[in-house]
């Protein structure tokens, strides 16, 4: 039956999508030109019935929707969306609150206070710490590093917010050789060019070498920011944060931790040693839309001492009504003023899962990452390039060219989706297990599909070497068919 209003139509499309997502082809099903044709056309002169708009939108966009919320999407580090958080997100749009001031949304303001407390407790960070609710880890890095810039310059007698950066004392910024591009980008926005960064050598897992940091810190009197990492985007390995904090603080430096997904190791007792000493840092950037499985977009900028953050972020104007100090002003904690109440899905997540449910989610994903690594490593010629300490797996299928071929075949096959990257000079397939709904069966199906693609890629290569015309890629043959 045709729904009689657009909300009902959207509800039907959304719930059908969510209930069927595990069965979908994971990747795109339509080339760009066809998508453009399906969705495009001239700007309408007259309007269309809202229900028809929603039906057309849902149907036409569908082939270009990637099943990132499904259980076999292993690209980038993406996470899914726990249904209760999607439901809460519907409320966010329905309420359409502006989370910039207390007076524009007392409920959002109070939830930000509550969820800040829960996050700090969950991660075992200092009780003084405060949280800014931003769009993602990139903006969380920016927000935290703005606070860092404020504070290290304040200690040098300089107010960067009023005096600017151009004549300020030089700030040294030290980062690991495997720093994520996001931190480099955030530093760029803050006036620190990428050529000005001091790169500290890393080990084979991408971890900053603490002894090299000690040597590079030296004894110059400059203000210093050290940017550490919890969870390398390829290997999942974390820097030796306890040592970094000790050395950097001895030099009066600010320690920022970029932990888009890796920071959540702190919430799982047996994984916490990987981020030992994390509570001693000055700021932490992380995502909720990755491992916490809330819908895009959701990032968290956390600072131990909230004064520098608020000094860096806050703006005042007579019409921007403020109440007493107890009433949280969202725009004091984040770079935006008008802002979606993106705390709401987080609030729902913490209520629905609790501390134990969240730890179980992270723990389960790590076990599944080990499972797929073991399945793949058992095949001849397959090498796991990283120590699988968290949820990230780097796989090489025989050599660089075969690995690229396998990635392309896996993406076209549609059982699962994984991307590629160079890891310390070697081509790897990246598998990030970060979805709440992934099961052992999904892992096994995905491993089978990847190995079948490997078989096809290798057979094609052998046939080409023999001068034979290769067969078209066989569908889903097991790896054994190659080795028998
Ligand atoms: C370590 C790290 N920092 C920052 C980011 C950027 O996060 P976002 O894309 O959510 O802004 C990522 C993304 O994968 C990351 O892995």
Is residue 298 a contact partner of residue 288, using CB atoms and an 8 Å limit?
yes
Is residue 255 a contact partner of residue 281, using CB atoms and an 8 Å limit?
yes
Whether 464 has a pLDDT exceeding 90, the answer reads no
Report residue 480's pLDDT band, with 50, 70 and 90 as the boundaries: very low
Apex 180 CA angle, 297 and 226, nearest 5: 110
Mean pLDDT of 98-109: 98
Ligand 1 centroid distance, CA of 2 (Å)? 41
CB atoms within 10 A of CB 338: 11
Report residue 477's pLDDT band, with 50, 70 and 90 as the boundaries: very low
Mean pLDDT of 63-70: 97
Residue 451's closest CA among 467, 429, 423, 422?
Answer: 429
Q: According to CATH, what is the number of the domain 363-483?
A: 3.90.1150.10
The pLDDT tens digits for 83-92 are 999 999 999 9
Ligand 1 centroid distance, CA of 179 (Å)? 11
Query: Which percentage of the chain shows pLDDT scores above 70?
Result: 95
The pLDDT tens digits for 426-439 are 999 999 999 999 99
Whether 262 has a pLDDT exceeding 60, the answer reads yes
Pocket of ligand 1 (CB under 6 A): 77, 136-138, 180, 182, 229, 231, 233, 258, 260, 287, 299
Mean pLDDT of 267-274: 98
Report residue 56's pLDDT band, with 50, 70 and 90 as the boundaries: very high
Q: Residue of the nearest CA to atom 12 in ligand 1? A: 260
Between CA 394 and CA 423 the distance in angstroms is 8
CB atoms within 10 A of CB 144: 34
* Two tokens, residue 228: 């550490």
- Site to substitute for ligand 1 among 183, 260, 391, most atoms within 8 A of C-beta: 260
**Residue holding tokens 């056309």?**
41
Report residue 463's pLDDT band, with 50, 70 and 90 as the boundaries: confident
Q: Which atom of ligand 1 is nearest to the CA of 141?
A: 4
Mean pLDDT of 42-48: 97
Length of the chain: 484
Q: Residue of the nearest CA to atom 2 in ligand 1? A: 260
Domain coordinates in residue numbering, the chain: 6-63, 98-341, 363-483
* Second CATH level (architecture) for the domain 98-341: 3-Layer(aba) Sandwich (3.40)
pLDDT on residue 220: 82
**Residue holding tokens 């190995």?**
451
| Fold agreement (98-341, 363-483) | no
The pLDDT tens digits for 339-375 are 999 999 999 999 999 999 999 999 999 999 999 999 9
Report residue 468's pLDDT band, with 50, 70 and 90 as the boundaries: low
Mean pLDDT of 23-44: 96
Whether 410 has a pLDDT exceeding 90, the answer reads yes
Mean pLDDT of 230-259: 98
Mean pLDDT of 51-69: 98
């Amino acid at each position: 039956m045709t729904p009689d209003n657009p909300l009902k139509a959207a509800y039907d499309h959304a719930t059908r999508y969510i209930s069927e997502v595990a069965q979908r082809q994971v990747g795109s099903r339509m080339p760009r030109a066809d998508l453009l044709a399906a969705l495009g056309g001239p700007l309408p002169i007259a309007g269309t019935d809202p229900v028809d708009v929603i039906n057309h939108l849902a149907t036409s966009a569908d082939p270009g929707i990637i099943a990132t919320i499904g259980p076999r999407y292993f690209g980038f580090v993406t996470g899914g969306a726990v249904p209760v958080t999607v439901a809460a997100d519907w409320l966010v749009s329905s309420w359409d609150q502006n989370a910039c001031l207390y007076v524009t949304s007392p409920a959002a303001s109070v939830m930000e206070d509550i969820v800040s407390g829960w996050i700090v407790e969950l991660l075992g960070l200092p009780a003084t710490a405060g949280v800014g609710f931003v769009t993602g880890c990139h903006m969380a890095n920016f927000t935290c590093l703005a606070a860092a810039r404020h504070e290290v310059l304040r200690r040098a007698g300089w107010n960067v917010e009023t005096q600017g950066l151009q004549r300020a004392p030089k700030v040294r910024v030290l980062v690991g050789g495997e720093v994520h591009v996001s931190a480099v980008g955030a530093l760029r926005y803050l006036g620190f060019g990428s050529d000005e960064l001091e790169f500290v050598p890393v080990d084979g897992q991408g971890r900053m070498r603490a002894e090299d940091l000690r040597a590079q810190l030296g004894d110059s009197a400059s203000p210093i920011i050290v940017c550490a990492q919890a969870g390398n985007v390829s290997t999942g390995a974390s820097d030796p944060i306890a040592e970094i904090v000790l050395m950097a603080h001895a030099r009066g430096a600010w320690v920022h931790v970029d932990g888009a997904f890796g920071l959540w190791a702190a919430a799982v007792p047996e994984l916490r040693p990987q981020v030992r000493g994390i509570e001693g840092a000055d700021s932490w950037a992380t995502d909720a839309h990755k491992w916490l499985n809330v819908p895009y977009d959701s990032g968290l900028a956390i600072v131990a001492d909230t004064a520098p953050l608020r000094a860096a972020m806050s703006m005042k104007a007579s019409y921007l009504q403020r109440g007493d100090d107890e009433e949280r002003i969202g725009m004091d904690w984040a770079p935006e003023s008008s802002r979606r109440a993106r705390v709401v899905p987080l609030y729902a997540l913490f209520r629905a899962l609790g501390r134990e449910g969240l730890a179980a989610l992270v723990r389960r994903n790590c076990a599944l990452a080990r499972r797929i690594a073991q399945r793949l490593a058992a095949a001849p010629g397959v090498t796991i390039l990283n120590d699988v300490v968290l949820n990230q797996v780097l796989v090489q299928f025989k050599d660089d060219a075969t690995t690229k071929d396998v990635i392309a075949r896996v993406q076209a096959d549609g059982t699962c989706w994984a991307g590629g990257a160079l890891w310390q000079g070697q081509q790897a397939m990246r598998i990030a297990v970060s979805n709440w709904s992934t099961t052992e069966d999904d892992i096994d199906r995905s491993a089978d599909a990847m190995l079948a693609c490997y078989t096809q890629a290798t057979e094609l290569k052998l046939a080409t070497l023999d001068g034979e015309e290769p067969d078209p890629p066989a569908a889903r043959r097991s790896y054994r068919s190659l080795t028998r």
